[in-house]
Amino acid sequence: MLVLGIETTCDETAAAVVARDREGRGEIRSNVVRSQTLEHAAYGGVVPEIAARAHVEVLDRIIAQAMDEAGVGFDALDGVAAAAGPGLIGGLIVGLTTAKALAIVLERPLVAVNHLEAHALTARLTDAVAFPYCVFLASGGHTQIVAALDVGHYVRIGTTVDDAIGEAFDKTAKLLGLRYPGGPEVEREARRGNAARFELPRPMLGRPEPNFSLSGLKTALRLEALKIAPLADQDVSDLCAGFQQAVVDVIADRVLTGLRAFRERFGAPTALVVAGGVAANQAVREALDRATARVSTNLVVPPPTLCTDNGAMIAWAGAERIARKQTHTLAVAPRARWPLEELNEAVPAVAAVTT
Ligand code: KG4
Ligand code: ZN
C-alpha cells in the first residue's frame, strides 16, 4: 500500500510517500520537508498568518517533489492522508483541503490524521514497535506521556500544566537573546556552560502524578538573568547549561513516574518511544537512556528528522488507518484542538468531525 502524507500543522510544509506491506512493515519512499524558520525568525516565534500563506505558496511543489523522489505517479497511490489537527487552523485548512482535492480526483480514500497520533505511531514505521507502548512526546506545542494501546486507542498519562518543554527552550532562548527555534541554540550554549553556577528549581520533581510544569523554571531563570545583567557570553552559556540540566532532571524523573503509572494500569510496555523536536537534544536522549535502563525498558528514539514534524509520519498514520478500513468522508473538518483521547470514541469511517 502506498500513501501520500501531507503535514501543515505548524511551520513545516511537508509531504511524503510511505509504503506499508501486508505484514505491517513500513518503508519511506520519499520525505520532503520545507521549514519556514526564516519567515518567522524576525518575530521570535511562529506567526499563524505568515505560516498559512507560506503553506499555500509551496505545498503543491512539495507534493510534486515527494511524488518525484518516490518515483511513482499519482495513480499508484492507495490513499491520501493529511494532518487535520491539532495545529494552526490556517495551515490545517491548506493541507486537508489539498488532500481532499487529490482524494476526489484520484478516487482514493482520505484519512484526516491526528498529528499527535502520527508522532505516537512513528516508532512502528521505524522500529515495528508492538502495542502496548509508552510515548513521551515533547515538542514546541505538546508535552505528553501517553499509553499507546492500539491504533486509535490512547490514554494520556501525564501532560504539562503550563508551557510545553520545547516552548520553554524557545522562551529561554528569546530571553537570553538567542535565535528561534531556541532548542538547538540553548543546547549549543549549554555545552560551554557550567550547569552548577545557578540554583534553579526542578518543578514537579518527585510528585506522584506524572505531570510537568515549566513556567516556574522559566521565571527563576529570568530572575537570575536580571540579577547579573548585562549578560556576558559566559553568563548566557551558564544559564543555558543550568536550564537544560534542570529540564533533563525533570524529564528523567517524570518519565520514570509515567512508566510506573503505565505498568500499574496496563502492564509492562514493550518500549518507551520518544517523539517531538526536543528528542533531538543529546542531553535529553542520554537522560532517557539512563532512566529506561534503570527500569529495564526498551528505549526507541526515531532519527531526529522523524522526531520533528514531517510528512512520513502522517503518511504512515494514514496507512495504519487505511489498513483498518478507517477512512474519512469529505465532510471531515480540520480541528485546531484535537486531544488524542477523543480518538478512542470516534468512528472515523463516518466521522463528520466539526471543530
Ligand atoms: O516537533 P517539533 O519540530 O515541532 C512542533 O512543535 O510540533 O518541535 C519543535 C520544538 C521547538 O520548541 C524546538 O526548540 C525544540 O523542539 N527543539 C529542541 C531541540 N531541537 C528542537 N529542544 C531542545 N534541544 C534541541 N536540540
Ligand atoms: Zn509535532
C-alpha 142 to ligand 2 mean position (Å): 8
Burial code (b: 16+ CB inside 10 Å, e: under 16) for 326-341 equals bbbbeebbbbeebbbe
108/169 same-domain check: no
C-alpha 237 to ligand 1 mean position (Å): 19
Decide: 302 in ligand 1 pocket, CB within 6 A. Answer: no
141/7 same-domain check: no
- pLDDT-based confidence at residue 93 (cuts at 50, 70, 90): very high
C-alpha 182 to ligand 1 mean position (Å): 8
Q: Which of 139, 175, 250, 286 is the best mutation target for the ligand 1 pocket, counting ligand atoms within 8 Å of the beta carbon and taking the most?
A: 139
C-alpha 42 to ligand 1 mean position (Å): 18
The rounded distance, in Å, linking the Cα atoms of 255 and 288 is 8
- pLDDT-based confidence at residue 181 (cuts at 50, 70, 90): confident
Q: What is the pLDDT of residue 170?
A: 94
Q: pTM above 0.75?
A: yes
**Using one digit for the tens of pLDDT, what is the confidence trace for 114-135?**
999 999 999 999 999 999 999 9
93/171 same-domain check: no
Residue 14 makes CB contacts below 8 A (sequence gap 6+) with 5, 6, 7, 8, 31, 32, 33, 34, 62, 309, 310, 311, 314
208/80 same-domain check: no
263/156 same-domain check: yes
**What is the CATH number for 263?**
3.30.420.40
324/291 same-domain check: no
The rounded distance, in Å, linking the Cα atoms of 242 and 218 is 11
Q: Which of 169, 170, 218 is the best mutation target for the ligand 1 pocket, counting ligand atoms within 8 Å of the beta carbon and taking the most?
A: 169
**Using one digit for the tens of pLDDT, what is the confidence trace for 34-86?**
999 888 888 878 899 999 999 999 999 999 999 999 999 999 999 999 999 99
Q: What is the pLDDT of residue 346?
A: 60
**Residue 352 counted as domain residue:** no
Q: What is the mean pLDDT of residues 321-341?
A: 96
- pLDDT-based confidence at residue 355 (cuts at 50, 70, 90): very low
187/199 same-domain check: yes
Q: What is the pLDDT of residue 348?
A: 44
105/17 same-domain check: yes
Instruction: Note down the domain range covering 257.
Output: 131-304
66/209 same-domain check: no
**Residue 351 counted as domain residue:** no
Q: What is the pLDDT of residue 345?
A: 65
Q: How many domains does the chain have?
A: 2
Q: Which of 308, 309, 313, 338 is the best mutation target for the ligand 1 pocket, counting ligand atoms within 8 Å of the beta carbon and taking the most?
A: 308
Q: What is the pLDDT of residue 224?
A: 98
**Mean pLDDT of all residues in the chain?**
95
